């Protein structure tokens, strides 16, 4: 079937979604979910809005197949992070098209996936494509704040939805060019979270009498020992396979060198040998280390600048690789601190890292479609440095793959992406994204193995 006519439909849907302000908090995702439910329902596709709380709506739509195999889940989130209009060149919720881009909050995180998935369902329905399995589509609330009112709520209250063969999510699909080859990442895992609060205490006093054991001084010395924030190297199976495949795609000699460096624990050297800079897609170096970023400091009162405070606090955003534990990470931090400082998990903000196997029919379908569509480009498994709604589904036994296929930008073109001011989507990327994900959906649900 001809897909070109659906490209404009996907763009119009994306612009409509960007214009619906779903800044979280408070979210107001119901407005976006209702818009999608009406659009899909009018085409005869089963769609409903499930609210976890008033205004916190989740879109659940299903295109029925023959039921010969478990469904495919296409998933994304409806909420976006805040956008200060004074920091933007265009109104972040006006969905302006300019200079080859669609400008707007959510244009790359994650409403482009939502618009693409909705349009895929409409195209399959209109084309009366015979499917062996259902295509399930969930546009969830609250992902930007942990998903408790969105995918987490559905996983708790609607467990029946997730008897699926696998899911395609955000978090991967970026292109890496190295050694004359093009590789597309497919997120098979992601880092977990272990956010901590550091507290130092000491007797207060008068500012005219400094001491080495001030609460502030102890805290500063402890935090300084975090260095650049990369606190513990750890090579996961996902990144070992990714770096090995990228090296093999260039030469067998390079592959042998990269494997040798990995075996020796020389992770930074292995990255560079494979042709990957630390700032490449996915913040590459952070995928090889547990990390800690100091994001907040609190001590004393500027109105009483002459008073030595008895307590000082720091807030540290920790990201941990699959295999690291809560207590293991805390011990790493305490060993580094070397000071009389209490380090504890902040507000129970802990979740482990996760990995899904890449040996599934869905992953192999993604590999096949990319090879067909992208002149032999190769898919490599990848980690996500952040956290997505996958954390709610992988524990249920659902393999989740982050794959929003995005080719390189043209030479000289740059674009701020997720969470940045002036977030914008290169318009030529949307048709590529749609066509590739449509083919994955079609081949997996119409032609794929029925395991």
Is the per-residue pLDDT at 440 higher than 80? yes
Rg of the chain, C-alpha, whole Å: 24
Summary mean pLDDT of the chain: 95
The pTM score is 0.93
Provide the Cα torsion 97, 99, 105, 106; round to 10°. Answer: 80
pLDDT value of position 326: 98
Is the per-residue pLDDT at 451 higher than 50? no
Within 394-447, residue ranges assigned H as helices are 429-442
8 Å CB contact between 57 and 28: no
Provide the Cα torsion 169, 143, 118, 38; round to 10°. Answer: 160
Within 291-402, residue ranges assigned H as helices are 326-337, 361-373, 390-393
Q: What is the pLDDT of residues 179-224, one digit of tens each?
A: 999 999 999 999 999 999 999 999 999 999 999 999 999 999 999 9
pLDDT value of position 1: 65
pLDDT value of position 206: 95
pLDDT value of position 83: 98
Q: What is the pLDDT of residues 92-122, one digit of tens each?
A: 999 999 999 999 999 999 999 999 999 999 9
278: left (phi over 0), alpha (psi -120 to 50) or beta: alpha
DSSP β-ladder status, 46-51 and 57-63: antiparallel
CA-to-CA dists, residue 208 to 147, 216, 220, 307, angstroms: 49, 15, 19, 9
Q: What is the pLDDT of residues 272-292, one digit of tens each?
A: 999 997 776 557 999 999 999
In percent, the amount of the chain with pLDDT more than 70 equals 98
Nearest CA to 158 out of 66, 58, 67 is that of 58
Domains (range + CATH), the chain = 4-178+354-447 (3.40.630.10), 192-351 (3.30.70.360)
Is the per-residue pLDDT at 76 higher than 60? yes
Is the per-residue pLDDT at 85 higher than 60? yes
pLDDT value of position 449: 52
Q: What is the pLDDT of residues 215-249, one digit of tens each?
A: 999 999 999 999 999 999 999 999 999 999 999 99
Other beta carbons within 10 angstroms of residue 323's beta carbon come to 15
Is the per-residue pLDDT at 450 higher than 70? no
CA 382 to mean position of chain CA atoms: 11
Q: d(Cα 287, Cα 384) in Å, to the nearest integer? A: 7
In percent, the amount of the chain with pLDDT more than 90 equals 94
Other beta carbons within 10 angstroms of residue 278's beta carbon come to 14
pLDDT value of position 342: 98
Q: What is the pLDDT of residues 5-27, one digit of tens each?
A: 999 999 999 999 999 999 999 99
Altogether, the residues listed in the chain come to a count of 451
Q: d(Cα 139, Cα 114) in Å, to the nearest integer? A: 6
pLDDT band, very low/low/confident/very high, at 313 (cuts 50, 70, 90): very high
Q: What is the pLDDT of residues 124-182, one digit of tens each?
A: 999 999 999 999 999 999 999 999 999 999 999 999 999 999 999 998 999 999 999 99
Is the per-residue pLDDT at 63 higher than 60? yes
Helix orientation angle between 429-442 and 4-19, rounded to the nearest 10 degrees: 110
pLDDT value of position 376: 82
What spatial distance separates the first Cα and last Cα of the chain, rounded to whole Å?
A: 26
């Amino acid at each position: 079937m001809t897909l070109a006519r659906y490209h404009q439909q996907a763009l119009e849907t994306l612009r409509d979604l960007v214009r619906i302000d779903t800044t979280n908090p408070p979210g107001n995702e119901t407005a976006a979910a209702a818009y999608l439910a009406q659009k899909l329902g009018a085409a005869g596709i089963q769609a409903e809005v499930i609210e976890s709380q008033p205004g916190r709506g989740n879109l659940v739509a299903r295109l029925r197949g023959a039921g010969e195999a478990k469904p495919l889940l296409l998933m994304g989130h409806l909420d976006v992070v805040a956008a200060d209009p004074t920091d933007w060149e265009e109104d972040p919720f006006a969905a302006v098209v300019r200079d080859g881009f669609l400008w707007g909050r959510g244009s790359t995180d994650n409403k482009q996936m939502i618009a693409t998935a909705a349009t895929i369902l409409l195209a399959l329905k209109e084309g009366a494509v015979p499917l062996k399995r259902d295509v399930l589509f969930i546009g969830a609330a609250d992902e930007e704040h942990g998903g408790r009112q969105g995918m987490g709520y559905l996983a708790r209250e609607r467990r029946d939805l997730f008897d699926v063969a696998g899911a395609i999510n955000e978090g991967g699909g970026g292109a890496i060019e190295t050694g004359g080859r093009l590789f597309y990442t497919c997120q098979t895992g992601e880092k977990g979270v272990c956010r901590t609060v550091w507290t130092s205490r000491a007797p207060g006093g008068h500012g005219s009498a400094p001491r080495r054991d001030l609460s502030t001084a102890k805290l500063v010395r402890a935090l300084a020992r975090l260095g650049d924030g990369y606190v513990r190297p750890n090579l996961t199976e996902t990144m070992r396979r990714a770096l090995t495949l990228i090296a093999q795609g260039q030469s067998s000699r390079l592959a042998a060198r990269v494997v040798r460096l990995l075996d020796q624990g020389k992770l930074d050297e292995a990255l560079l040998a494979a042709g990957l800079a630390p700032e490449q897609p996915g913040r590459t170096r952070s995928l090889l280390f547990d990390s800690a970023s100091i994001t907040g400091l609190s001590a004393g009162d500027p109105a009483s600048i002459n008073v030595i405070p008895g307590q000082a606090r720091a807030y540290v955003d920790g990201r941990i690789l699959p295999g690291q534990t809560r207590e293991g990470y805390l011990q790493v931090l305490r060993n580094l601190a070397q000071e009389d400082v209490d380090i504890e998990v902040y507000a129970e903000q802990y979740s482990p890292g996760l990995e899904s196997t890449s040996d599934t029919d869905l992953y192999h379908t993604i590999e096949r479609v990319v090879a067909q569509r992208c002149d032999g480009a190769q898919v490599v498994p990848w980690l996500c440095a952040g956290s997505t709604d996958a954390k709610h589904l992988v524990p249920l036994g659902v393999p989740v793959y982050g794959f929003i296929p995005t080719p390189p930008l043209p030479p000289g073109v740059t674009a701020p992406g997720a969470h940045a001011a002036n977030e914008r989507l290169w318009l030529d990327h949307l048709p590529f994204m749609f066509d590739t994900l449509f083919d994955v959906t079609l081949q997996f649900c119409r032609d794929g193995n029925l395991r």
